[in-house]
Chain A
């Protein structure tokens, strides 16, 4: 494990946590701020997201994650009659891996028994046991018509910094297509079609991949600090491959896109069409072969997100960017402001 310097960094002030999406804060969807880090010049500039095009050139490629967010927090009943909340992290064909939590904040983990029956949306399922590598995740029988069950009974996964429920629609990107993400691929959430179509008209290309996200937190600080990693389903199609292989510069919109594209890199160091489960872990020493730049949100240093940022930024520049984002009052988390790393 890479030793983390996070203890040296100032804590994130509570008022910089975005409680609501921009549209519910009286702004337009794309009305968020943009911090731009130029790695070559080692400069940090402050701008608006709607000015994104001024930092890009014709022939650049923006790669989007088209995954649609599902309401992955679902209520369930135990044999004892106790209510719990399941957070669906990984959905294999016959087995789901879920977090089992108290139904109310702070949503502490609840220990189940192997063989125990649970009721989800009036449908029974059986607990198969803990996941060996990540014991907080429970293996359960996949629910029949599982997506329907989730859509019928679930709500969006919500952390403490979002105090009131926000309708699922506000979690979706404007280009969300196939459903399956437990949490929003949030770096693209601020895009409006007005902005995307303007970028396209100015010669910036768009391509899309699919990666269904799992959980960003297992609701246990010690476990989260180890940056648990699980498999995520992804698809990189031939249209995206062609676009990436001919682009001048590839800008990943979100770390999920980095994970998908870098997994698609073959021995020839080019990307190829692929679909499957990715277990790729990216960190400080990971070479980036498909992606040249990254648009990302601001997430806390404790989150696994920071590991991936080290693939783009050396430690001094990462630390400087973190301090500058706090000093300049950028908003954090999935409904917050954005950062472009060129």
Chain B
């Protein structure tokens, strides 16, 4: 139980990687605040987590809405008093089949940026104060190889992940010499609903399982020799 006594907040926790990280953290004894847009799926994950014997708070949240984020932060801090680990995992892919940027609906572009970059900024800002008071904390932003490679069709998603990596580097520089660390992790191609929507004809046998990738998150937050903050990390190479 390497995370006994720790409190983690995970966004987009109702499915895919978010759910897998929630379960992995719960197995290590962390108390969890989970959010996602879909209340029903979120409640299902919360009950799976609770069955592992850990405390859990599920807050249905649309991370695009400031009032929802305020509520998520306030309810989490009211219940657990602090957050030690923040995982900014909630992501929106955008319209599928993936359109070229030349064809991308501008409103959908804005929406993806709201979820994938504005929300992580706001949520991190709201929670980092408590971390800096205690001079301790870990923030993990979930990125993608689309951030560093131009793939046709991944438009707003790729742009948002590149921005998220920029956010991570800048924030890491500002947090230098504090006990608060911030990372971007690229989980690699996983067998998730999002991947299915983006690449319907992918060979699922070649995709990683979210449960396996989640181990890299546990490794990162429990390592006694933590990786250098601000780095872009690949889940496949963590813990090796």
Contacts and interface: CB of A to CB of B under 8 A. Distances in A.
Interface string B117-130: 00000000000111
Interface residues of A, number: 26
Given A167-B66, A177-B82, A178-B81, A151 B71 contact: yes
Interface stretch (A76-84, A92-100, A168-176): A168-176
B228 interface: no
B133 A178 contact: no
A161 interface: no
Interface in B86-142: 128-130, 132-133
Contact of B132 (A147, A169, A175, A180): A175
A206 B174 CA distance: 18
A335 B211 CA distance: 48
B75 A206 contact: no
Given A66-B130, A167-B66, A193-B129, A177 B71 contact: no
Nearest to A71: B70
A195 to B, nearest CB: 12
Given A151-B75, A178-B77, A197-B178, A168 B70 contact: yes
B78 A147 contact: yes
Contacts of B81: 177-178
Nearest to A151: B71
Contacts of A64: 133
Nearest to A177: B130
A334 B71 CA distance: 23
A175 B78 contact: no
Interface-central residue, A68, A173, A196, A208, by most chain B CB under 10 Å: A68
Contacts, number: 52
B129 A173 contact: yes
A36 B153 CA distance: 59
A147 B74 contact: yes
Contacts of B132: 175, 193, 196-197
Interface string A128-162: 00000000000000000001100110000000000
Contact of B129 (A147, A148, A175, A180): A175
A70 interface: yes
A192 to B, nearest CB: 11
A179 interface: yes
A179 B130 contact: no
B127 to A, nearest CB: 9
B70 A151 contact: yes
A197 B135 CA distance: 10
A210 to B, nearest CB: 9
A180 B81 CA distance: 12
A115 to B, nearest CB: 30
A179 B77 contact: yes
Contacts of B74: 68, 70, 147, 151, 179
Contacts of A197: 132, 178
A177 B80 CA distance: 10
B71 A152 contact: yes
Given A68-B74, A147-B74, A201 B129 contact: no
A179 B77 CA distance: 7
A166 to B, nearest CB: 13
A174 B133 CA distance: 10
Nearest to A175: B129
Contacts of B71: 148, 151-152
A174 B66 contact: no
Given A151-B70, A169-B70, A177 B75 contact: no
Interface-central residue, B66, B77, B178, by most chain A CB under 10 Å: B77
Contact of B75 (A148, A167, A176): A148
A169 B130 CA distance: 15
Interface-central residue, A68, A70, A175, A177, by most chain B CB under 10 Å: A177
Contacts of B78: 147, 178-180
Contacts of A70: 74
A173 B177 CA distance: 22
Contacts of A151: 70-71, 74-75
Contacts of B70: 151, 168-169
B66 A177 contact: no
25 contacts: A64-B133, A66-B129, A66-B133, A68-B74, A147-B75, A151-B70, A151-B71, A151-B74, A151-B75, A152-B71, A167-B66, A168-B70, A169-B66, A169-B70, A173-B129, A174-B129, A175-B130, A175-B132, A177-B77, A177-B133, A179-B77, A179-B78, A193-B174, A194-B174, A196-B132
Interface of B: 66, 70-71, 74-75, 77-78, 81-82, 128-130, 132-133, 174, 177-178
Given A151-B74, A173-B129, 6 more contacts: A68-B77, A175-B130, A177-B77, A177-B129, A180-B78, A193-B174
Instruction: Name the 6 nearest CB pairs between A and B, nearest first.
Output: A175-B129, A179-B74, A177-B130, A151-B71, A178-B77, A174-B129
